[in-house]
């Protein structure tokens, strides 16, 4: 236990001195070989605590809070999203870093967001990160309110929408089935998986008996190295139907249950994936095709088959039904544009025929 001394110190059996004090409601212990060193440690702690409390009272610098938030948040963010979050954090620090967290106003936050010249999704991500930093500061006691709580994304920003494949490109992808390097495109086309999800598919994920495929994981690349992680979101864990064209392609190729459908014993590295895809696109010879465009074609099949939005959301693995609705709206608008063009072509043909008829009869 130790022997109590008159100055509040305790001489412990091992010969060290200890001082116990309750500071800000917490029990704190200071110990050393001599009473003088114990008191020096105690006074140094009080000075540091006073400085910290003063810093909180005056308001921490936004840059310090943002970096502290990032240090706590980074490990929770999926690897593929970290660059987006980190870029948004750096932009916020560039704009507000020299301000104290307690002095930042809604006007400053609004001016920052309104002044961004990026696509709508990028600005939306920026505002989300800004909100997270301020919420973190409130929880930690650095601020009492969130000045960007009511800031809105500028209404004039364009949505960054991917174009559908042209009929020629879609036909080329479908006809390429069974050719070298075409399997990844077929997996995405007939399952609607993201590229990383398709790369993570193993033969044990394919249920040929019930014509289903389980999506539970995804490949992310740490530099060039492939790593298996959970799907992008919880909604990404899902079951999709095994369609007949894909079933016919897969059955002759079935390997060991733990082998990856693309890559074999291990998933493709980043460089191997790039080479694989470049060879495939060169074989098609119909211009550049983004893998996500092919995923979009699966959504088009769902739309044209009359699959309702809620079911499509589940099959596509979207977290937010608004994402599915936006894709369906885009497809519908493209179909309307196609119909308009066909009607105008028919109208032009009729007008040409009419003119020829008039000229030949009068």
Task: Output the six-digit token pair for 64.
Answer: 């310090």
Q: Answer yes or no: is 83 within a domain.
A: yes
Domain of residue 36: give its range: 3-58
Answer yes or no: do 100 and 193 share one domain. no
Q: Answer yes or no: is 21 within a domain.
A: yes
Q: Do 173 and 165 meet the contact criterion of CB atoms below 8 Å apart?
A: yes
Q: Answer yes or no: is 197 within a domain.
A: yes
pTM of the model: 0.64
Answer yes or no: do 187 and 242 share one domain. yes
Q: Answer yes or no: is 255 within a domain.
A: yes
Q: Answer yes or no: is 185 within a domain.
A: yes
Residue 89 has a pLDDT of 95
pLDDT in tens, 39-83: 998 888 887 766 666 665 677 899 999 999 999 998 888 767 788
* Per-residue b or e along 54-84, where b marks 16 or more CB atoms closer than 10 Å to that residue's CB: eeeeebbbbbebbebbbeebeeeeeebebee
Q: Answer yes or no: is 88 within a domain.
A: yes
Answer yes or no: do 125 and 67 share one domain. yes
* pLDDT higher at 344 or 215: 215
Number of folded domains that form the chain: 3
**Measured distance CA(264)–CA(64) in Å, rounded:** 46
| Average per-residue pLDDT for the chain | 88
pLDDT in tens, 188-227: 999 999 999 999 999 999 999 999 999 999 998 888 999 9
Q: Answer yes or no: is 333 within a domain.
A: no
**End-to-end Cα distance, the chain:** 122
**Measured distance CA(224)–CA(239) in Å, rounded:** 29
Q: Answer yes or no: is 89 within a domain.
A: yes
pLDDT at 340 over 90: no
Last residue of a domain, one of 291, 312, 332: 291
pLDDT at 354 over 80: no
């Amino acid at each position: 236990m130790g022997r109590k001394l008159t100055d509040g110190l305790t001489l412990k059996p091992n010969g060290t001195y200890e001082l116990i004090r309750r500071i800000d409601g917490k029990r704190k212990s200071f110990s050393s070989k001599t009473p003088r060193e114990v008191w020096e440690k105690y006074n140094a702690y009080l000075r540091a605590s006073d400085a910290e409390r003063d810093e909180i009272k005056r308001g921490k610098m936004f840059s310090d809070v943002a970096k502290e938030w990032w240090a706590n948040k980074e490990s929770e963010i999926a690897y593929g999203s970290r660059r987006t979050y980190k870029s948004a954090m750096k932009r916020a620090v560039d704009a507000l870093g020299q301000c104290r967290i307690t002095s930042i106003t809604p006007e400053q936050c609004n001016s920052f967001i309104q002044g961004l010249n990026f696509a709508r999704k990028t600005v939306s991500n920026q505002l989300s990160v800004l909100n997270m930093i301020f919420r973190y500061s409130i929880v930690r006691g650095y601020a009492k309110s969130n000045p960007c709580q009511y800031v809105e994304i500028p209404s004039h920003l364009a949505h960054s929408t991917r174009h559908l494949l042209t009929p020629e490109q879609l036909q080329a992808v479908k006809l390429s089935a069974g050719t070298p390097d075409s399997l990844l495109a077929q997996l995405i086309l007939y399952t609607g998986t993201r590229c990383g999800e398709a790369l993570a598919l193993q033969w044990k994920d394919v249920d040929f008996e019930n014509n289903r495929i389980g999506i539970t994981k995804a490949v992310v690349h740490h530099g060039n190295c492939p790593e298996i992680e959970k799907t992008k979101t919880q909604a990404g864990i899902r079951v999709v139907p095994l369609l007949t064209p894909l079933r016919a392609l897969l059955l002759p190729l079935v390997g060991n249950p733990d082998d990856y459908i693309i890559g074999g014993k291990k998933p493709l590295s980043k460089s191997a994936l790039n080479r694989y895809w470049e060879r495939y696109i060169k074989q098609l010879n119909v211009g550049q095709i983004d893998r996500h465009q092919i995923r979009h074609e699966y959504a088009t099949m769902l739309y044209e088959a009359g699959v309702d939005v809620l079911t499509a959301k589940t099959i596509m693995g979207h977290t937010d039904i608004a994402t599915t609705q936006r894709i369906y709206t885009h497809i519908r608008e493209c179909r309307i544009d196609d119909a308009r063009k066909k009607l105008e072509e028919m109208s032009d043909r009729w007008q040409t025929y009419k003119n020829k008829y008039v000229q030949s009869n009068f």
